[in-house]
Amino acid sequence: MKIAIGSGKGGTGKTSVTASLVVLAGQVVVADCDVDADLHLILAPEIQEQHAFISGHEAIIQQEVCVGCGACQLHCRFDAIAQIGSESDTL
């Protein structure tokens, strides 16, 4: 049996529900794929295998179409865009 718990919103109890299910299930394999990955703080598991994560994608600003208005920064729900340098710099 496989169970996946996910949600786009933080603070909904995903980690607490997952930890509870793991405790009830007994010996299971668990993968915490959350960006914050804090399930180990609750369960204190014995880690048998660990791998580095390397993403194949990098977000870039297309300078040929960017006008430096800052709209992307305002609309980014991850707060992943910041204007740096002087005001004349593009995002």
* Model confidence pLDDT, tens digit, residues 60-78: 788 899 998 989 889 988 8
48 and 66 housed in the same domain: no
Buried residues in 78-88 as b, exposed as e (16+ CB within 10 A): eeeeeeeeeee
Higher pLDDT, 32 or 64: 64
For 63, the domain range is: 55-91
Q: What is the pLDDT of residue 59?
A: 73
27 and 61 housed in the same domain: no
- Sign of the CA dihedral 49, 50, 56, 62? positive
Please tell me the total count of domains within the chain: 2
